[in-house]
Each structure stands twice: as C-alpha cells, then as structure tokens.
Amino acid sequence: MTSRSSRPTRGRRLTAAAAGLLALLLSACGREELPQNTLDPEGPVARQLDNLINPVFVVAGVFFVLVLALTLGFALKYRAKSDDDAPVQVHGNAKLELGWTIVPALILVGVSFFTLIVIADINREAKGDDVVTVDVIGHQWWWEYRYPDQGIVTANELHIPVGRPVAINLTSVDVVHSFWPPKLAGKIDAIPNRINHMTIEADEPGVYHGQCAEFCGLAHADMRLRVVAHSAADWDRWVATNKAVPEVPEGSGDAATGATLFRQKGCASCHTVEGYSKGELGPNLTHLMQRETFAGAIFDMTPENLRTWLRDPPGEKPGSLMPNLNLTEDEITKLIAYLETLK
Amino acid sequence: MTDTLNPPVVAPAPPTTEPLLLKRPKNPTGVLSWLTTIDHKRIGILYGATSLIFFLLGGLEALLIRVQLAQPNGTIIPAGLYNELFTMHGTTMIFLVVMPLSAAFFNYMVPLQIGARDVAFPRLNAFSYWTFLFGGLFIYSSFLLGGAPNGGWFGYAPNTSVTFNPGHNIDFWIFGLQILGIASTVGAVNFVTTILNLRAPGMTLFRMPIFTWMSLVANFLLLFAMPIITIALFLLMFDRNFGSHFFDPSAGGNALLWQHLFWLFGHPEVYILILPAMGMVSEIIPTFARKPLFGYRVMVISGIAIGFMGWGVWVHHMFATGLGPVAISAFSLSTMFIAVPTGVKIFNWLGTLHGGSLRLTTPMLFAIGFIAMFTIGGLSGVTHAVSPHDRQQTDTYYVVAHFHYVLFGGSLFGIMGALYYWWPKVFGRFLNDKVGKWHFWTWFIGFNMTFGPMHLLGLQGMPRRVYRYDEGMGWDLWNMVSTIGSFVIAVSVLIFISNVVNSARRPVFASADPWDGRSLEWSIPSPTPHYNFAEVPIVHSEDDFWHRKYTEDASGRLVRIEGVEQPPAVVDKLPEHHEDPPGIHLPSPSYFPLVASFGLPVMAYGMVYGRDAGQNYVIAALGGLITLVGLFAWAMEPSVEPEDPEDAAANGHGDGHDGPPALVAATSDGEVVEDDGERIPRELLKGSTEEEGS
C-alpha cells in the first residue's frame, strides 16, 4: 500500500527526467555543430541511405516502446502480494507464439524488400558524361586523390563539382582503410590489392568532413579528410589552377633558400612538387596552398601550424612516416616561405 | 613377420598403485587441493573467480579509455597505449570474462541440473581451466614485455603483419588466443559429452533445464567456431614467423581472407557469449515468477535456430568491404531474420512474467533488466541488417553501443543475475539482497549512461578506435556523459565486491532450496556436497524438482503437495559433508592436467621469441615436451585411485579411462542400470502422461 501511494511522485520525477534528457538531446542535434552527422545527409547518395533507415528506426522504436512498456508494466503489475500466491501455471500458448514469430517475420520481409532495392541501386556504377572519376588511395595516415581525366594529384582534401556524381575507385597501399564522408555517402573500405567502387555527390558547394573509419594503426584517429564541393565555375577554376606547374622561386629570398632546403633536407625524396621533385612516399605538395588543411586534415593551413608540424611531425601525428628532421627555426621559416609559393 | 590383422591379445594391465612421476595428491583442503582438483564445482569456482579478476582488469582498461575520450583532443593516454587498451579491453571481456564466466556456470551448474556427479572428463576439465588461466596470464604478461596486443580484438590483416606491426604485441595476441582456444575447445568437447551422456535416468532432452539446453547449443557453437580462429591464427603465425604470405597483399595474399575467417568465427562467438546468459535468465524468471517458462519447447527451438542461423550472418561485419550486391543481399536477409527467433525469446520471457507472482529479488531485477537492455541491442542489430545504411553505422560508436547492449546489457546482466541466483547454492550463503539492489540500480543507470549516448555519437559520425577527436565535432557532451557513466559502473562494481566480501565475513546461510527452485540443483544441500547427489535422481518431468513440491488444480493454479516439507530459505549453519556415502567413487585429484597445460605458455613464449632468434624455438620444444610428459602421465594414471586393489576391481574402475565413475549406464535395449544394479524399465522413464497433455 505504501509503495502504491509513492508511485505518482516517482512517475512525475521520471517524466521530468525524460523531458530534460530529450531537451538535451535536441539541443545537441544542431546542424552546424555536427559536421559528420549521418542523420543530416547533404547529397543524394547519403540521402537514399537516410530515407531507407528512417522508417526502420520508427519500426524499431515501436518495438522498443512495446517491449519496454510490457516489461515495466508486468514487473509492476504482477509483483507478488504474498508468499502464497498461486498463479495460474501457463505453460505456453501455441497461437500466441506462432503470432509473435510470424508478425515480426512479415515486418522484416517488408524491411528487406526496400533494403534489397537500395542495395541494387547503390551498387550500380555511376555512368554518364558528367561523372567525375577519382582514384582514392589510402596511406598510413593520409589520403591520396588522383584525377585520371584531369591529370591532377592531391591529398586529404577531395575537390568535387556539385551536382555531379563522383565515381571513386578505392584502394590502399598498406593496410585496410575506409573512406567515409558521412554527409555525402556511407563508407567503403580501401583494401590493398583490391579496387572498390563508391559514388558520392554533393547538393551544395561547401566543405564536408570525413575520416578514415577502419582501424589502420597508430594514427588512425588522425587520418581525416575533407570533401570540398565547388560550383561549376569554381570547379573549372580549381582544375585549371591545379593542372598548372608552379614556378620554382629563384634569387636569394627566403622562398628560394627554402626551395634549396627542400632538396637538401630530404623533403624532395618523399614529396612530389611538379616541375621540381618526384618523391612518392608522402602527399603531393604541388598546390599545397590550395588546401585548407594538411597532415591528414588534422591541421588548418596556417604558417603557425606548418611551423608546429615541421618542428616534430611524429610528435603531432603519432607514427607519422615523416621524421623529425631537427630543423632550425630559421630553416623552418625558409621552408614555409617556399611552401607558400606552391599555390 | 607379425600378423598385423590379428595382433596378439594383450591382457589389460592391473591398476597401478605406483606413483607416476608425482605422488597422487590426497589433501582434501588447502592450496594443493585446489591445484589438483578435478571436481567440477571447484573448477567452476576457479573459473568464476579468475574471470571476475580479469573483469576488473578489463574494466580498468575501459575506464582509461573513457578518461581519454572524456574531452576532445585528450592527452592523457598516448595513441600507442590507447590502441593496446582497446585491443586488450575487447580481448579480455570476450575471451577472459564473458566466455569463462559462462564456463564457470557450465562447470558448476550443468552437472547439477542434469543429475550427474561430475562432468564426462573431469581431468580434461581441470586442464581446460589451467589452460584458460595460463592463456590469460600469458596475454597479460605482454604489458610487461614490451607492449600489449594493439591490432584490435579483430586483428585485421595486413595491419597485424610484421611489416606494419614489427613488435611482439601481435605475437602475444596470436599465441594467447591459441592457448585460450585450446581451453575452450576441450571444454566444449567435455560439456557436449556431459550433457548428451550423463543425464540422470528419465531426463530426456526435452526435460533438460533451459540453461543446460542453451549451454549445449553454446558448446556446439564453440566446438565448431574455435577451429576456424585456430586456423586463422596459425596462418597469421606462419606469415609472421615463417615468411608465408596468406594475408600479405603485397605478395599476392588476401587481406579479406582474414576478415572472412575471423568473422566466420567471430559471429558465432557472439552467440556463444549471449546464449548461456539467455539460459540463465530463462531459469531466473520462472523461479521468481512462480510459473513455468512460457513455451519451453519454443524457447529451446529458438535457441537452436539462433545457433544454426548464427553461422550464416558473418558478412554483416563486412558490409563496407565492397563485396558484390548478391553477397550483401544474402547476408542482409539472414541477419534480418535471425531477429525472429531472438524476438520469440523476448516475447516468451514477457509471457512468463505475465500473470506470475513476481518476487523482485536482485537476480530477478537483473533478469528483467536483461530483457529490456537486450531488446535495445537486438533492435539496433536489425538496423545493421539494413546493409546500405550499415555503411554509415559500421565502425562507429553506434556499433559500440549496439554490442555493449548485447554483451553488457545482455550477457553481463544475465551473468550478474545468475551470480546472485546461484551464489547460495555454491557457497551456502546469500549475497545481500538490499546491497544487491544498490548494485543493480547503479549498474543499470551507469550502463545506460555509458552506452546509451554512444548510439547518438555513432550516428553523429564518431568512428570507433580513435584515441582522440577534434573540437567542434559536436561530440563533447555525450562523450562526457559516457565517461561519467563508466564511473557509475565502477562504483557499482565496488558495491558488488563489498557484497561478496560481506557474504564471507557476515554470512547469512541459505538452505538447500532458498528460492523455491525448479531444477535439480535445488534438491541437494547448499553448498553442494562433494558427491553432488547422494542418490542419483530419477526424472519424471520437466522442472522435476518443482513438480515434487507442487501440482496444479483443475483451473491450472499452483497447489502445494501435502506432506512435502518446504525447507526454510535461511538456515543457522552450513551442513557438513565429511564422508562420501558408501558406494560413491569420485575421480581422484591429479597433478597432470596442471602439468600438461603449463607446457602451453612455455611453448607460446618460445614461439614469440623464436621470431627474434631461431634458437628460442628450443623453448617452444621444451614447452611441448612438458605438455607431452603431462599428457603421458595423465594417460597412464587411473582416473580413480583405488583405495585398495580389490575394491577398485569390484567397482570396475582403475582401467585408465578418463571418465566419471560409472554412475549409470544404458543397456542396449534402452533400460538404464543404476550403479546399485537396479533396473528401471524404459516406460517409467517416459514421464508422466499428464505432463505431455498440458
């Protein structure tokens, strides 16, 4: 009896707590603050996935509420009243049991139907004149992008035109990675010795966040990426800029000294700069300043960040294959001056 | 020339009484008695205690992970250590906690539930335990020897190759899992044999308690799943130690092959982890609802169905690997439909609760908590089956949330309930119910605080296995909540420990049948006497012990049978069992299981360091020799040490077979002969007809 009288209070408290939790939840769902939110697709591929899952979430939600309500309801309703309760000894009910086998099965038949349609759909290769092809190659711990039709090689930031399907051929040179820009598409693994395909497309110009989703060793967390979607005009401009070969600075300025240091200190043996060096281990730096980020997209492209990075790369990104070259501050200044010419 | 077709008949050697290498241990108590025990109950306790200690270690690793992730760009744990921590957390919780905790209950409870005096192969059982312990210690020794495994519990190739992981981290993982695999495999052989062959007369398969049923299914899964991971690990060992290229894409090997092998083991493994807990919950709920399990047969069949279907869903771990649409479609469907038998179980538990007389004791709270939490894990599992969207979910915290709702909200809730439920049977004393409720509620709240928000984090794009995340990703709040939740769980574990300590210090003794139980283990004293059953029971129905106490009236209501004395729940002191009843001969303790399993970690160290220098393989050979000597001495040692040769001969023991005493033996015409020679006709064993009609 005493427990009965306390129940409404407990109920009210629970409701208040639930409402508070819901408010928190909603406030944390703002668009801008969640650059990798899968529930907020910004391209047709990701939207197709979202449209498929939303009704499933609803069905799951209904079952969740049903089972939880029944569990809680039964636990409260059928509490023993005395030690001598003599409940009816029900051993089962064939009809009911058949019912809760068949009904969920039928619901799942419905879910499978739509699932199969989307599986077939997203496995279709993007075709047509407007398709842009990019070879995406996973490295420990950065992404390489090769545009075979445009003859451009870049890293970490994938530039695409809006409203055009981008066909991605995905592979890896070392371990398994997974390419994932959540707002544009679901992830596909980059597996060495194997080429996988995926399509992405963005509705609007903008910068989309993503990162490697398959555990790939020490700095897996630091293998991030950006997809930059351009309007048609900006895209043409970006392609033109990136096809050009930058001039090697001459004379006695910092940039020219930096260019020399770039060779002396060994940078050139790992990094390609079109028209100047041919290294292949690290990212292609030909148009470094076209990128907003660097080092697996963990740093914004600023001179201060470049300085921090050049002082001790493995200190900033654990396991980084780029060693600490023990550069002096002066050398770093000059190298940055050179890098800033790579526009 | 000898005639090989007709070898000369060799007379069986008389039972030896000469000590073989080591004198047969005799002590009934003391450390030595635990080292040499082959009693399934003591081994069960050892399994339980060891895995609870590993649970604390795995939990500590989890806390460190959560501390690091509490805030963006955490700097407390460096990347390398973080990778070791999450690898060891997963490996520990799966191989050193949930699996052996289930094994603890297989060991202790299955023989009692089927009315046996021990498992089929008692010394093999001891070997299982020691091998598990050595495997766990071996893997953990890596922390002191240059670094723990760091490739994730899934160890994806080629990240685990010498090229990308030149240290010994992965070697410890390979050989540690191999040792643990041996423990699990021989354990599975033992339990399958025990359940199929040692049931008391009259206990047909469909009269077995549901926990025993689920144990049988889980052990069949183990029996077939462990060899797959064993093979995969051997291939990886050859890649690392001997320069083969099974998983090395740069030399034409196949990285995906590893994933197929691993998940072909790994998914049945999930059911190995959850099915025993489902069995435990299915024991607890009817007991505290005072009603039979709703749809017992359907519960059994759905468990078997899950066991079978569990083999056909592994590719749902690989929906993002770029397999073709046909394979993806097939595995989406199979994954979706494994939810059907799982759902049946949930509804049948609800059916059991419905109309019952529920006593909300601590075990019952854990069992009800299991239903609710496991349902959440099951439903998020269905969303994974929608494979196109799984490309968004996989490798994110959404998956972390999902499997913690299955393995923590499911397996660990069930196991915790089972600990409270069977504690009085094992130790003859209760865990305090009031403290238990504190334990439950902190556990429940902490669990939901920790793992509930991970659903959101995952859908908001937070990937797994990242040692840090940037500011401005919008993940700060829920990560902080999750970390706070993990400390609530830690508090809950402390409450549990205090409960255990207090039950030892200030015991409240329990009677044989404190919960008014249903299955045979409650028909014998608490704690269980050395010989289990003074008299082997004859089983007449499902829930046999219950039906000795109760019957049903015309309207199906429960009626106590007159004249059956109900023991009090609480007693003044523990019963004392000094001597085995006459005519019972239990297998004798032995050193050799311990010796044989001790060779395994020695072999493993030899293999780990053999990669550095070939001469270290000599250590491996030495370990092999130790194991061989142990096995040889074991084989030569009689399973029951005869008190005097005449007695042994009279009982037919001492023949070198590793087996329990011949408690019962089925004759060819289906009659069952008990060891006192009484013949029970087959008809009597078929059970009461009114039971069939209900």
Q: What is the pLDDT of residues B516-550, one digit of tens each?
A: 999 999 999 999 998 999 889 999 999 999 999 99
| A39, A40, A50, A74: best to mutate for the B interface, most B CBs within 10 A | A74
A38 plus A178 within the same structural domain: yes
Local confidence band at B366 (pLDDT 50, 70, 90 cut-offs): very high
Query: Residue A139's closest CA among A149, A153, A126?
Result: A153
A167 plus A236 within the same structural domain: yes
How distant, in Å, are the alpha carbons of A334, B430, B433, B568, B615 from that of B528? 80, 14, 21, 17, 50
pLDDT at B393 over 80: yes
pLDDT (0 to 100) of residue B694: 35
CB atoms within 10 A of CB B51: 26
Q: At what angle do helices B296-309 and B210-242 cross, to 10 degrees?
A: 10
pLDDT (0 to 100) of residue B554: 87
Angle at B162 between CA B160 and CA B165, to 5 degrees: 55
Tokens of B84: 């070791």
Q: At what angle do helices B592-610 and B617-636 cross, to 10 degrees?
A: 160
pLDDT (0 to 100) of residue A23: 55
pLDDT over 90, % of chain B? 81
- Measured between CA atoms, the residue of chain B closest to residue A169 is B322
Rounded to whole angstroms, the Cα distance separating B304 from B275 reads 10
Chain center to CA of A11: 41
Is the minimum CB–CB distance between A193 and chain B shorter than 8 Å? yes
A54 plus A158 within the same structural domain: yes
Tokens of B565: 């004395």
Please give the ipTM for the structure prediction.
Answer: 0.91
Which residue in this structure is represented by tokens 């000469």? B18
| A82, A115, A305, A321: best to mutate for the B interface, most B CBs within 10 A | A115
A162 plus A281 within the same structural domain: no
CB within 8 A of B425, min separation 6: which ones?
B112, B510, B521, B522, B526, B527, B528
Q: Do B255 and A191 touch (CB under 8 A)?
A: yes
> Looking at the DSSP assignment, which residues form a beta bridge with residue A157?
A226
pLDDT at A107 over 70: yes
Bond from prior residue into B522 cis (ω within 30 degrees of 0): no
Which pLDDT tens digit goes with each residue over B408-460? 999 999 999 999 999 999 999 999 999 999 999 999 999 999 999 999 999 99
Beta strand extents in chain A (DSSP E only): 132-139, 142-147, 152-155, 157-161, 166-172, 177-179, 188-190, 196-200, 206-211, 224-230, 272-273, 277-278, 293-294, 299-300
Rounded to whole angstroms, the Cα distance separating A322 from A139 reads 13
Q: Do B159 and A97 touch (CB under 8 A)?
A: no
* Mean per-residue pLDDT of chain B: 89
Rounded to whole angstroms, the Cα distance separating A71 from B614 reads 61
Nearest to A176 among B156, B290, B296 (CB): B156
Which helix (H) or strand (E) segment is B673 a member of?
Answer: strand B672-674
Rounded to whole angstroms, the Cα distance separating B240 from B248 reads 10
pLDDT (0 to 100) of residue A15: 57
- Measured between CA atoms, the residue of chain A closest to residue B546 is A89
Rounded to whole angstroms, the Cα distance separating B35 from A135 reads 61
A157-161 vs A188-190, strand pairing mode: unpaired
| A47, A52, A175, A183: best to mutate for the B interface, most B CBs within 10 A | A175
Local confidence band at B30 (pLDDT 50, 70, 90 cut-offs): confident
Is the minimum CB–CB distance between A100 and chain B shorter than 8 Å? yes
Tell whether A98 is covered by a domain: no
Averaged pLDDT for residues B137-158? 96
Would you tell me which residues 259-288 of chain A have a C-beta closer than 8 angstroms to some C-beta of chain B? none
**Cα within 13 Å of Cα(A148), Cβ side:** 10
Averaged pLDDT for residues B59-77? 97
The residue segments making up the domain with residue A178 are 34-77+125-242
Rounded to whole angstroms, the Cα distance separating B435 from B427 reads 18
Bond from prior residue into B527 cis (ω within 30 degrees of 0): yes
Is the minimum CB–CB distance between B85 and chain A shorter than 8 Å? no
Radius of gyration of chain A (CA): 28
Is the minimum CB–CB distance between B101 and chain A shorter than 8 Å? no
Averaged pLDDT for residues A29-57? 89
Rounded to whole angstroms, the Cα distance separating B119 from B41 reads 10
A191 plus A73 within the same structural domain: yes
**Domain final residue pick, A242, A266, A291:** A242
Query: Residue A187's closest CA among A60, A36, A340?
Result: A36
pLDDT at B168 over 80: yes
CB atoms within 10 A of CB B5: 5
pLDDT (0 to 100) of residue B24: 77
Rounded to whole angstroms, the Cα distance separating B356 from A80 reads 8
> Looking at the DSSP assignment, which residues form a beta bridge with residue B510?
B570
pLDDT (0 to 100) of residue B647: 45
Would you tell me which residues 15-34 of chain A have a C-beta closer than 8 angstroms to some C-beta of chain B? 24-25, 28, 30, 33-34
Rounded to whole angstroms, the Cα distance separating B79 from B64 reads 12
| CATH number of the B38-505 domain | 1.20.210.10
Which pLDDT tens digit goes with each residue over B467-485? 999 999 999 999 999 999 9
Local confidence band at B17 (pLDDT 50, 70, 90 cut-offs): low
- Measured between CA atoms, the residue of chain A closest to residue B475 is A34
Q: Do B354 and A74 touch (CB under 8 A)?
A: yes
pLDDT at B32 over 50: yes
A176 plus A232 within the same structural domain: yes
Encoded amino acid at B346, one letter: I
Residue predicted with more confidence, B576 or B247: B247
A238 plus A263 within the same structural domain: no
B550-552 vs B558-560, strand pairing mode: antiparallel
Angle at B306 between CA B304 and CA B311, to 5 degrees: 110
- Contact (CB, 8 A) for B212 and B195: yes
Rounded to whole angstroms, the Cα distance separating A70 from A58 reads 18
Averaged pLDDT for residues B227-253? 96
Q: Give the domain CATH number at A132.
A: 2.60.40.420
- Contact (CB, 8 A) for B145 and B123: no
* Mean per-residue pLDDT of chain A: 90
User: Order of strands, edge to edge, in the sheet holding B672-674?
Assistant: B664-666, B672-674, B679-680
SS3 sequence of B249-281: HHHCCCHHHHHHHHHHHHHHHHHHHHHHHHHHH
- Contacts B387 to A, Cβ<8 Å: 115, 119
A293-294 vs A299-300, strand pairing mode: antiparallel
SS3 sequence of B63-126: HHHHHHHCCCCCCCCCHHHHHHHHHHHHHHHHHHHHHHHHHHHHHHHHHHHCCCCCCCCHHHHH
Averaged pLDDT for residues B165-194? 97
Averaged pLDDT for residues B186-199? 97
Q: Do B158 and A176 touch (CB under 8 A)?
A: yes
CB atoms within 10 A of CB B73: 9
Nearest CA to CA, how far is A256 from chain B (Å)? 35
Local confidence band at B660 (pLDDT 50, 70, 90 cut-offs): very low
- Contacts B552 to A, Cβ<8 Å: 89
Of A77-81, A88-92, B553-557, B561-565, give the lowest mean pLDDT range: B561-565
Nearest CA to CA, how far is B257 from chain A (Å)? 12
- Contacts B570 to A, Cβ<8 Å: none
Nearest to A189 among B320, B325, B396 (CB): B320
Phi then psi for residue A137, to 5 deg, are: -125, 125
pLDDT (0 to 100) of residue B680: 47
CB within 8 A of B662, min separation 6: which ones?
B651, B652, B653, B675
Residue predicted with more confidence, A125 or B566: A125
Q: Is B144 exposed, middle or buried (0-12, 13-18, 19+ CB in 10 A)?
A: exposed
Q: Do A90 and B249 touch (CB under 8 A)?
A: no
Tell whether A111 is covered by a domain: no
pLDDT over 70, % of chain B? 88
- Contacts A181 to B, Cβ<8 Å: none
- Contacts A64 to B, Cβ<8 Å: 375-376, 379
Would you tell me which residues 225-254 of chain A have a C-beta closer than 8 angstroms to some C-beta of chain B? none
- Contact (CB, 8 A) for B408 and B374: no
Is the minimum CB–CB distance between A54 and chain B shorter than 8 Å? no
Q: Do B353 and A298 touch (CB under 8 A)?
A: no
Phi then psi for residue B396, to 5 deg, are: -115, 175
Averaged pLDDT for residues A57-69? 95
Which pLDDT tens digit goes with each residue over A218-243? 999 999 999 999 999 999 999 999 99
Residue predicted with more confidence, B304 or B665: B304
Tokens of B374: 């496991």
- Contacts B358 to A, Cβ<8 Å: 74-75, 78-80
**Domain final residue pick, A185, A215, A242:** A242
pLDDT at B461 over 60: yes
Nearest CA to CA, how far is A56 from chain B (Å)? 7
pLDDT at B222 over 90: yes
pLDDT (0 to 100) of residue B639: 78
pLDDT (0 to 100) of residue A25: 56
**Domain final residue pick, A218, A242, A266:** A242
Tell whether A27 is covered by a domain: no
A134 plus A231 within the same structural domain: yes
pLDDT (0 to 100) of residue A17: 59
A181 plus A203 within the same structural domain: yes
Q: pTM for this one?
A: 0.90
- Chain A to chain B Cβ contacts (< 8 Å): 316
Beta strand extents in B470-610 (DSSP E only): 550-552, 558-560
Which pLDDT tens digit goes with each residue over B554-566? 888 888 888 887 7
How distant, in Å, are the alpha carbons of A193, B131, B430, B615, B691 from that of B123? 48, 12, 30, 34, 38
Averaged pLDDT for residues B193-209? 96
Tell whether A108 is covered by a domain: no
Tell whether A292 is covered by a domain: yes
- Contact (CB, 8 A) for B592 and B633: yes
Phi then psi for residue B23, to 5 deg, are: -70, 140
Q: Which residues of B187-210 are buried (b: 16+ CB within 10 A; e: fewer)?
A: bbbbbbbbbeebbbbbbeeebbbb
Nearest CA to CA, how far is A32 from chain B (Å)? 9
Of A161-175, B262-276, B385-399, B644-658, give the lowest mean pLDDT range: B644-658
Tell whether A136 is covered by a domain: yes
pLDDT (0 to 100) of residue B667: 38
Would you tell me which residues 472-511 of chain B have a C-beta closer than 8 angstroms to some C-beta of chain A? 472-474, 477-478
Local confidence band at A13 (pLDDT 50, 70, 90 cut-offs): low
Local confidence band at A21 (pLDDT 50, 70, 90 cut-offs): low
Which pLDDT tens digit goes with each residue over A128-145? 899 999 999 999 999 999
Rounded to whole angstroms, the Cα distance separating B368 from B348 reads 13
Is the minimum CB–CB distance between A199 and chain B shorter than 8 Å? no
| B68, B366, B466, B570: best to mutate for the A interface, most A CBs within 10 A | B466
A284 plus A322 within the same structural domain: yes
pLDDT at A120 over 50: yes
- Contacts B691 to A, Cβ<8 Å: none
Chain center to CA of A299: 16
A132-139 vs A166-172, strand pairing mode: parallel
Domain count, chain A: 2
Nearest to A89 among B249, B389, B558 (CB): B558
Q: Do A97 and B347 touch (CB under 8 A)?
A: yes
User: Order of strands, edge to edge, in the sheet holding A166-172?
Assistant: A152-155, A142-147, A132-139, A166-172, A196-200
Rounded to whole angstroms, the Cα distance separating B127 from B79 reads 38
- Measured between CA atoms, the residue of chain B closest to residue A214 is B395
Query: Residue A152's closest CA among A296, A339, A287?
Result: A287
